[in-house]
Structure 1
């Protein structure tokens, strides 16, 4: 029974992490490019765009 509870916590944490990464990517992209289309594309990429922006564009 303890295993099921641990698994539920991991799934919920991963779900919220992906949502936050997408929101962060959208806000960074729109601020940098002022384009809704690029913001949507970067929102799909999520954390990949956030890491790219942190390494190469800041």
Structure 2
């Protein structure tokens, strides 16, 4: 696996994990989707301000 594949897999796993934990705690699909989106916003923020390594 190349480095970018590891990053993509990590981002996907982190987003899915955030959604599952959110659903288990709040029992709401909308909150789970919201927390999944927050994970992606953080990734975009990181790439914009720190660059894609």
TM class by shorter chain equals 0.5 to 0.7
Which structure: larger Rg? 1
| C-alpha distance in 2 between matches for 1:41 and 1:21 | 14
Structure with the higher fraction of residues in helix conformation = 1
User: What CA RMSD, in Å, does the superposition of the two structures yield over aligned residues?
Assistant: 1.9
Between the two proteins, the alignment pairs up a number of residues equal to 41
Gap regions ≥5 residues in structure 2: 43-53
1:23 and 1:32 map into 2 onto residues whose CA distance is: 14
TM-score under structure 1 normalisation?
A: 0.62
